[in-house]
Amino acid sequence: MSDATVDPRFRRKPPKRPLRLSWADERIRGIVWQILVVGVVGTIFYWLWSNTAHNLEVRRIATGFGFLNREAGLPIAEHVISYEPTDTYLRALTVGVLNTLKVSIVGIVLATILGTTIGIARLSKNFLVSKIASFYVEVIRDLPLLLQLLFWYTVMQGLPGPRQAFHPTEGVFLSNRGLRFPALEWEGAHTAAVVAFIAGIVLTWLYGRSARAKQMADGQPRRVWPAAIALIAGLPVVVWLAMGAPWTIEWPALRGFNFRGGANVSPEFAALLIGLVTYTAGFIAEVVRAGILAVNQGQWEAAQALGLRHGSVLRLIVLPQALRVIIPPLTSNYLSLAKNSSLAVAIGYQDIVSIANTTLNQTGQAIEGIAIIMAVYLTISLSISLFMNWYNARIALVER
Amino acid sequence: MKHVLRRSMIRTLGAALIASTMALPAVAQQQPAAPAAATLDAIRARGTLICGVNTGLAGFAQPDSQGVWRGFDADYCRAVAAALFNDPNKVRYVPTTAQNRFTALQSGEVDMLARNTTWTLSRDTSLGFDFPAINFYDGQGFMVKTSLGVRTARELDGATICVQPGTTTEQNLTDWARANRVNFTPVVIERLEELVTAFVAGRCDAYTTDVSGLASTRSAQARPADYLILPDVISKEPLGPLVRHGDQRFSDLVRWIHFGLVAAEELGITAANVQQMAANDTRPEVQRMLGRNGDLGRMLAVDNAWLVNVIRAVGNYGEVFERNLTPIGIQRGPNAVWPTAGGLQFAPPFR
Amino acid sequence: MSDITLNAAAANPEATPRNPPVATTGPIAWVRENLFSGWLSTAVTLLLGYLIIRSVVGFVDWAFINAIWSVPVVNGVAQTQSCRELHGAGACWAVVTEKHRFMLFGTYPYDEHWRPAIVCVLFVALYIVSAMRRFWNWTLIPIWAVMLTLIGILMWGGVFGLSYVPQERWGGLPITLILATFGLAFAFPLSILVALGRRSNLPAIKVLCVLYVELIRGVPLISLLFMASVMFPLFLPEGMNIDKLLRAQIAIILFAGAYLAEVVRGGLQALPKGQYEAADAMGLTYWQKTGLIILPQALRLVIPPLVNTFIGFFKDTSLVLIIGIFDLLTAGKTAIVEPAWQGFGVEVYVFVGLIYLVFCFAMSKYSQALETDLNRHSRR
């Protein structure tokens, strides 16, 4: 049964004759090779490990993760969860992980939008549009990301100070301290509304599925959108109203040196985000372009011949096929965006690398610090890989 | 055609393989570094001193347009090389970051670290180092733009403060802020020049580091009067070279080179007159220092004319200071020589 | 109903009164077709045209018309007041004029700069020769051997009357080129072994290769460089020490090896099964099959992605900035530490960026041309 997963070209009948202790026997050769390679690799690792243990002892460097519960004492500018310098290293590192996730998720969404736009623009019939798009792709991809990040950070610093901030509309300030804008004072009712919104999406999906199943049964198309609007938009509003409809806006104002109140996008975050998004979009654009070009013109024609409308052709015929080409390289672009966010350390956005770096500097525990960085990124990478593999398997063409 | 192509591919592959194996011995040039006890012998055997310095800090260590390392710390490396080899250029400078400086010294990648590092108890003990001498007394302060209207550090409540991460500076800042109930937003950037650029561009209200660093940054600005160094000094920062714990001979040598530079200033010995003083000066201490009398040099396991070589190469402490730090606007202050100028720098007796 | 009429009209142009045919050739037709084919297209063209002209004029003003190309140097200190008075209205190229040798060659002894300069030329020559298909045969071996030996002799010196220059003093562009080239030269053989191992039917070897590739590809290069910078010294026995540059080089090789292994594996997978089966049928051993049948075909398939991966490494070598190695970008940033030149970052970034752009652009154009060339046989 397990044979089914093995590449068929390696599937051989097990030899009838018993193992012969001879170099001519393929299985013996295989076993010897494996012992050899594993032995060499194992020896190297043992050697490195014993050196390390010896060095740590001689240099009296502490080991273990005990430092995680010590007071960190390092200031962090941006934190999704509450944080004070008196908190532990563990909390500081958690804040770092959340900051990495924040910039990665926002970056992936924006880079997909921008990349798709540019990829389509490269196929535009308008000469200027396609030339600008290809110029953009060529230049962005040929410059090191680190250089681009440093450049964007320099640009951010060119904005005016808080007292001379751009003030386009009530409550919005753009200065070298970042972009300040009014924010909702968050209360329980808002959390409930968000939960209701997510529930609405799930219910819509379930409803859509059953509607499609019925259409398959009797051929009658059913409208999904009225229910969708009611569930996705109506449900959160009802919940919010039921909980007293709280609605207080926090307005930012210049007090002392800085703006207080409202929400803020810091220049470091903005520079990192812009750098990551513009850089990755250059790669995604190529992926999208290749995907669209990969769909045979005949598919369009055949779909139209079946009498499908333009939107349906796109949705049912072209996109699924283009996506199959697009998804694998898109995944690796998402992965590299997440990994590239580690360059934040160069421009002062406190992601996991920056905070782990400071931690290992203060505690002297280099091995633990770097192990934490690697573990975090491995987890992120594997999660994105697994999700995209699942999605890819779902939309893959079932062959033969 | 296809056959030829295939064969040429094998050849390309083979070429790459062979070329890479040939290059291996060229790149893998390992330098067996000495265990801690024999640093001095290892330096002598190698013929050069390997000195860990900053990647670029104006006044302390920084390569000039011709790629020659200049600065206060670089001159200390030069002085040690002069004492050992009578040639101040027998130094290899290894730029180190705030992060890898200690590993570099611990692992023997460098012989000594002259990288404006603060002497603290934990660095002296648990990191396994020795601080032979304090060559620069410093303290942490704040700099703001004059237009901000701030006069003392306590008024900085609510401010955005630029600080370099992973240094004692960062910890001092949080300690101070907590003690004084000052709230601040940090901007932490690892590379110093980026940090300074951010402060100058107005990203932060205040910039904190050692006062010497503040002065150097301030003097570098087009209009230094636009910047104000606040009077508050929130920490002690004794800076000095550091070596591995365990080799007392090397540690002693570095220590007495520093004292020799200080004593030379006190006694008026300069790069210009050191030869002549070694020959003619009648003061007994000068004669002992410059090797005409006694054998102080041999006690340190170097040539008896060691201090002549050092001073001829870099000058006395005052000259080193004035050449590197005065141009960037740092006053002598506590680093004046005692007792002649009433500062903290003084040398124990040379006898 | 109206829908149908419209469609019909579009489908049968004969049904409507016929206009004189529109010119379909010539510059005017080209412009109409490619720039003003509809109201939306026209609007976009006009808007973009305006923006392009605005930014080109602004750039020319900044980079050429208002720029300052050199400043006087008094007592070794550059007088940059004239640059500062521009307040960003023009570029201060004086920083490049003054510091270009430092940015290109770092702390290499000033009088010996001709040596790294020749090294850069040799590297470029090496790339060009390796890129020519005429040299894709045994002659490449002596060429690489001679070139790399020459590069080593020039950089280190110590023979033929050249003074010895230790590795710490190397810097700038040669470091970038060395890290990228040696990284590829060593990672490539490694990656072939790993790719073969990953497709092997020996479970232990397969697991090892999969672990290596997935672990390395799952973490950012920066963490490997940190490892090389602060952890590597702990891995080695006391007293043994590896140069910082070499440690970074090893990190880059390990990193590149994992990515290249996936590229090579792509090539192995793309081969038709028949090739494997035919080789087996002929009774070839594993190494004969791999060396004579599989690899020559698979590697030919992966040359274009290989060049693209190489472009990636070439750019990624700039990350050694974070561990304090003097590559091109670090040298550029160090050049503006000197008080007189602080604040002229944009000019330096433009200069450094142009160098990267020239190299990467040339390589990516080559890769595209090669791809077209190699795929010619498969096109009808």
B167 neighbourhood in chain A, CB within 8 Å: 361
Domain boundaries in chain A? 2-53, 92-182+266-395, 186-247
Number of neighbours of residue C95 by Cβ within 10 angstroms: 29
Q: Give A74→chain C minimum CA distance, Å.
A: 20
Q: Is the pLDDT of residue C290 over 80?
A: yes
Confidence of residue C306 (pLDDT cuts 50, 70, 90): confident
Distance between CA atoms of residues C204 and A31, nearest Å:
9
Sheet strands (E) in chain C: 73-74, 77-78
Kindly give the interhelix angle for C244-270 and C295-316, rounded to the nearest 10 degrees: 140
Query: Could you tell me whether strands B69-70 and B129-130 are parallel, antiparallel, or unpaired per DSSP bridges?
Result: unpaired
Low-confidence winner among A12-21, B323-332, C60-69 (lowest mean pLDDT): A12-21
User: How many C-beta atoms lie closer than 10 Å to residue B231's C-beta?
Assistant: 10
**Model confidence over A193-250: pLDDT tens digits?**
888 889 988 988 888 888 888 888 888 877 888 888 888 888 888 888 888 777 777 7
Closest approach of C23 to chain A, Cα-based (Å): 18
Binned at pLDDT 50, 70 and 90, residue A10 comes out as low
What tens digit of pLDDT does each residue of C247-280 get? 899 999 999 999 899 888 888 888 888 888 888 8
Chain C residue numbers touching B8 (CB-CB < 8 A): 133, 136-137
Look over chain A and give the mean of its residue pLDDT values, rounded to a whole number: 83
CATH number of the C95-378 domain: 1.10.3720.10
pLDDT tens digits for range A162-180: 888 888 878 788 888 888 8
Q: Do C217 and A381 touch (CB under 8 A)?
A: yes
**First-to-last C-alpha distance (Å) of chain C:** 45
At B264 the pLDDT is 93
- In one letter, which amino acid is B174? T
**Hey, what are C221's tokens?**
């290069």
Chain A residue whose CA is closest to C225: A370
B344 Cα to chain A: minimum distance (Å): 29
Q: Residues of B with CB below 8 A from C248's CB?
A: none
Distance from C145 to chain B by nearest Cα, in Å?
5
| Distance (Å) of CA C307 to CA A115, B178, C357, C362 | 23, 54, 15, 11
Three-state DSSP state, A244: coil
Confidence of residue B309 (pLDDT cuts 50, 70, 90): very high
| Closest CB from C203, C227, C319 relative to A370 | C227
* DSSP symbol at C357: H
The residue among A161, A158, A120 whose CA lies nearest residue A137 is A120
Q: Which residues does A129 contact at the CB level (< 8 Å), separation at least 6?
A: A121, C44, C45, C48
The shortest C-alpha distance from A56 to chain C (Å) reads: 7
Q: Which residues have CB under 8 Å from A172's CB, separation 6+? A: A179, A180, A181, A182
Residue range B265-277, pLDDT digits in tens = 999 999 999 999 9
Residue in chain A lying closest to C206 (CA): A34
Instruction: Calculate mean pLDDT across residues B44-69.
Output: 85
All residues at 6 or more sequence positions from B75 whose CB lies less than 8 Å from its CB, including other chains: B314, B320, B323, B324
In the numeric block, the tokens 């006044």 are attached to B59
- pLDDT of C376 reads 66
**Which range has the worst mean pLDDT, B70-84, B330-344, C328-342?**
C328-342
Centre a 10 Å sphere on the Cβ of residue C14 and count the other Cβ atoms it contains.
7
> Beta-carbon neighbour count of residue B154 at 10 Å?
13
Contact A77 B188 (CB under 8 A): yes
pLDDT tens profile C324-363: 788 888 888 888 777 677 777 788 888 999 999 999 999 8
pLDDT at B1: 41
Locate the domains of chain C by residue range.
20-62, 95-378
With a CB cutoff of 8 Å and minimum separation 6, the contacts of B306 are B82, B83, B257, B260, B291, B297, B300
- Say if residue A2's pLDDT is above 70: no
ipTM: 0.81
Given an 8 Å threshold on Cβ–Cβ distance, is C35 in contact with A357? no
Tell me which of C177 and B58 has the higher pLDDT: C177
Q: Give the pLDDT confidence score for residue B30 in this predicted structure.
A: 37
Spell out the SS3 assignment of B156-214.
HCCEEEEECCCCHHHHHHHHHHHHCCCCEEEEECCCHHHHHHHHHCCCCCEEEEEHHHH
Contact call for C349 and A41, based on CB within 8 A: no
Best CATH choice for the domain B139-237 from the list 2.60.40.10, 3.40.50.300, 3.40.190.10, 3.30.413.10: 3.40.190.10
Q: Which of A37, A147, A382 sits opposite C218 (nearest CB)?
A: A382
Give yes or no for C110 touching B (CB within 8 A).
Answer: yes
Q: Could you tell me if A28 lies within 8 Å of chain C, comparing CB atoms?
A: no
Residue B324 contacts residue C338 (beta carbons within 8 Å): no
Residue B51 at interface with chain C, using a CB cutoff of 8 Å: no
Which A positions 139-168 lie with beta carbon below 8 A of chain C? 139, 141-147, 150-151, 154, 158
Q: Name the one residue in this structure whose structure tokens are 């110093």.
A: B192
pLDDT in tens, C80-114: 777 777 777 777 888 888 888 888 888 788 888 88
Closest listed residue to residue A268, CA positions, set A2, A76, A119: A76
CA dihedral C334, C335, C337, C340 (to 10 degrees): 180
Q: How far apart are CA C154 and CA C159, in angstroms?
A: 9
Whose tokens are 């940190």? That residue is C226
The Cα C115–Cα C164 span in angstroms is: 12
* pLDDT of the residue at A106: 94
Stretch among A264-273, C72-81, C209-218 having the lowest mean pLDDT: C72-81
More confident residue, A240 or C190: C190
Shortest CA distance to A345 belongs to which of C249, C352, C221, B205? C221
Number of CB atoms found within 10 A of residue B276's CB: 10
Which of C223, C236, C254, C273 has the most A C-beta neighbours within 10 Å, making it the best mutation to test the interface with A?
C223
pLDDT in tens, A276-307: 999 999 999 988 888 888 888 888 888 889 88
**Contact (Cβ atoms closer than 8 angstroms) between residue B111 and residue B51:** yes
d(CA A380, CA A373): 11
Q: Report the CATH number of the A92-182+266-395 domain.
A: 1.10.3720.10
Higher pLDDT, A361 or B47: B47
Looking at CA atoms only, how far is residue A9 from chain C in angstroms?
Answer: 7
Rounded average pLDDT over C148-170: 82
Q: Inform me whether the C-beta atom of residue B153 falls under 8 Å from chain A C-beta atoms.
A: no
Question: Between these two residues, B74 and C184, which has the higher pLDDT value?
Answer: B74
